Amino acid sequence: MRQVISPLAAARLELSRHLTGRAWHDHTRPRWDWCSPETTCWLQIVPAEFSSDGHPSILLGLTDAAPAGRIGPWLEVPEACARIRLRTVRSHAPCLQGNVPQISLAESDSITGTVGALMLDAGRQYSVLTCADVIAGAGDTLIDAPIVLRSERSGLGGGHLRAWLPGDPDPERIRTVDAALAAITPDQARSLVQSFPSLIPQGWVREAEIAGRLAVRTLDAPIHGKAFGPWEGRVNVPGCDARPVYMQMLSYATEPATRPGDSGAGIWDESDRLVGIHCAGTGDIATVGFNALLCPIERIAKAFSARPVLRGEVISRLDPTRVVARPADESSGDIIPKDSTDEEILARTLWGEARNDSEAFMQGVASVVMNRLRRKVWWGNTLRQVCTGGSQFPCWQPRNALYPQMTSRQPPADAAYARALEIARKALTSSLPDNTFGATHYCPIWLSPLPPWAAGKQPRETIGAYAFYNNID
């Protein structure tokens, strides 16, 4: 059976033939023959809204070594039975730009970048996020290598390298994620939030939703710009004699241009949501329409099983690896009273699970609780059992950082809890529409690997960054 590929993907294959003189028969494995230093620098897929004829096209950056006139204004693509508009420009390879605070390896400050976000992984470890080449660019980089956080406003101390991608220094490997995490303590995380509130977004954006106006959160002031589209090509690494690296990222335009040291800076949209981190500057905006590259936060979250810390989120003072489980001793005065109403228990559950997320997600959690209660299977026969029993909702687990607040006799006194109370009342009076379509389970879309119960299952609905399942036995 003939393999069907998209016109733009097929165009990439056809460009390989034009530029290398060799056929590209393998559609499943990326090849970068056409993107050699002697021919081309990069390929930009131009979205329809930026194209003169209202159709997507391809912009190709050629080096001075590429023969003039070798590629015409149109590219015939036999594999897709399509004709793609093609524009070529003389260009050079983009360059990594290695400020909310600056970060570098402790042993060398030759490459300095920017912290883009505060992250929290599935193990409750706090980390700062930046580009991989800032703190893990060397081929001999080791896990736990010390890093330094620098700021004119406050002393943030150091941390250690926790994870990075790409892990393989091979320059031929295509990078779809360029990011690194440096572990810090909860106290450092709290200090970071207090000193740099501009690091903490209201939410974060899925890659397919990236569009419109953007802002790069640098140390001095935000640099405003606009999303452009998918980009791929080779990128130079400053101060490195190795061959250029190859990336598949998203391009965007800024005015003024980003500067050296901005690698890793967070990129936000107009709704105060994190879009991704800045990776590289590409040069002349007047010629190509863009001048910077970003790595989407969704890719980073999935790759590291971590998520950005959001505005208003409570940061535990305790090291999560040292939290001691407390017995449910009613006499301690700290455990939620046995006479608490279903409304109070459900509201606390919604607050614990969704206090920093959208109202739609909080409603989804309420629907999951009620769906479990109606089925009356192993989750429990009462709402208290469904919410607090077993290992059902993390917020009720003794090792969770929220546990003291969840079990306190005094309910949370914030707007999120007031919203949770209102949703709980509607759920318990059957006046809350089920926006999950009968789901009994949910998990973050960025979680990798997925929980065993989700393996091979298709979610019924997606709300924000969470997938809801109604087909789990």
Percentage above 70 pLDDT, the chain: 69
DSSP assignment of 298-334 equals HHHHHHHTEEEPPTT----SS-GGGPPPPP--GGGS-
Same domain, 29 and 122: no
Supply the pLDDT for residue 37. Answer: 54
- Where do runs of H (alpha helix) occur along 54-211? 132-135, 186-195
pLDDT at res. 16: 61
Q: How far is CA 35 from CA 166, 169, 245, 351, in A?
A: 19, 18, 11, 51
Q: Are residues 333 and 459 in the same domain?
A: yes
Instruction: Evaluate whether 400 touches 325 at the Cβ level (below 8 Å).
Output: no
Calculated CA dihedral for residues 101, 107, 110, 112, nearest 10 degrees: -20
In a domain, 260, yes or no: no
Cβ distance 254 to 291 under 8 Å?
yes
- Burial class from Cβ neighbours inside 10 Å (0-12, 13-18, 19+) for residue 10 reads buried
User: Residue 360 is part of which domain span?
Assistant: 325-469
Q: Taking a C-beta distance cutoff of 8 angstroms, is the pair 164, 102 a contact?
A: no
Shared-domain flag, residues 154 and 133: yes
In this structure, the answer to whether residues 350 and 406 fall within a common structural domain is yes
**Which of 22-26, 137-141, 163-167, 432-436 has the weakest average pLDDT?**
22-26
Average pLDDT over residues 199-227: 86
Give the model's confidence band at 256: pLDDT under 50 very low, under 70 low, under 90 confident, else very high: confident
- Average pLDDT of the residues in 390-406: 76
pLDDT in tens, 187-202: 888 888 887 887 889 8
In a domain, 209, yes or no: no
Give the C-alpha distances (Å, rounded to integers) separating 236 from 95, 98, 136, 241, 242: 5, 11, 15, 9, 9
Instruction: Give the pLDDT band (50/70/90) at residue 388.
Output: confident
Residue 234 lies in a domain: no
One domain, residues 332 and 448: yes
Name 376's Cβ contacts closer than 8 Å, sequence gap at least 6.
Answer: none
Biggest alpha carbon–alpha carbon distance for the chain: 84
Verify that 74 and 163 share a domain, yes or no: no
> Between 237 and 165, where is the model more confident?
165
Looking at residue 421, what is its pLDDT? 95
Last residue of a domain, one of 71, 90, 109: 90
Instruction: Please enumerate in sequence order all residues whose Cβ is within 8 A of that of 56, keeping only pairs 6 or more positions apart, or say none.
Output: 8, 45, 46, 47, 48
pLDDT, mean of residues 113-117: 87
- Among candidate residues 170, 198, 226, the one where a domain is terminated: 198
Domain end call among 42, 68, 90: 90
Quick check: is 207 in a domain? Answer: no
- Give 337's DSSP letter: P
Q: Please tell me the total count of domains within the chain.
A: 3
Query: Same structural domain for residues 358 and 421?
Result: yes
- Please report whether residue 445 resides in a domain: yes
> At residue 89, what is the residue type?
V
Going by pLDDT thresholds of 50, 70 and 90, the confidence category of residue 471 is confident
DSSP one-letter code for 57: E
Highest mean pLDDT among 30-34, 274-278, 316-320: 274-278
Q: Hey, which bits of 142-271 come out as E strands?
A: 146-150, 158-165, 174-175, 179-183, 203-204, 213-217, 223-235, 245-254, 266-269
- Mean pLDDT, the chain, whole residue set: 76
Do the Cβ atoms of 215 and 205 come closer than 8 Å? no
User: What pLDDT, on the 0 to 100 scale, is given for residue 332?
Assistant: 33
Pair (54, 120) in one structural domain:
no
Tell how far CA 65 is from the center of its chain. 37
Q: Please state, as a whole number, how many other Cβ atoms lie within 10 Å of the Cβ of residue 221.
A: 10
157 band by pLDDT with thresholds 50, 70 and 90: confident
Residues 158 and 70 in one domain: no
Q: Cα–Cα distance between 231 and 269 in angstroms, integer? A: 19
List pLDDT tens digits, range 316-374: 654 433 333 333 333 333 356 667 899 999 999 999 888 877 889 999 999 999 999 98
Q: What is the mean pLDDT of residues 264-276?
A: 91
| pLDDT beyond 60 at 292 | yes
Determine, yes or no, domain membership for 436. Answer: yes
Spatial separation of the C-alpha atoms in residues 401 and 224, rounded to whole Å:
37
Residue 191 in tokens: 């200090």
Residue 384 lies in a domain: yes
Same domain, residue pair 456 and 433: yes
Question: Could you tell me the two tokens for 67?
Answer: 């023969």
* 341 within a domain of the structure (yes/no): yes
The two structure tokens encoding residue 252: 């965007």
CB-count burial class (<10 Å; 0-12, 13-18, 19+) for 107: exposed
Same domain, 102 and 86: no
* Pair (46, 134) in one structural domain: no
What pLDDT sits at residue 283? 72
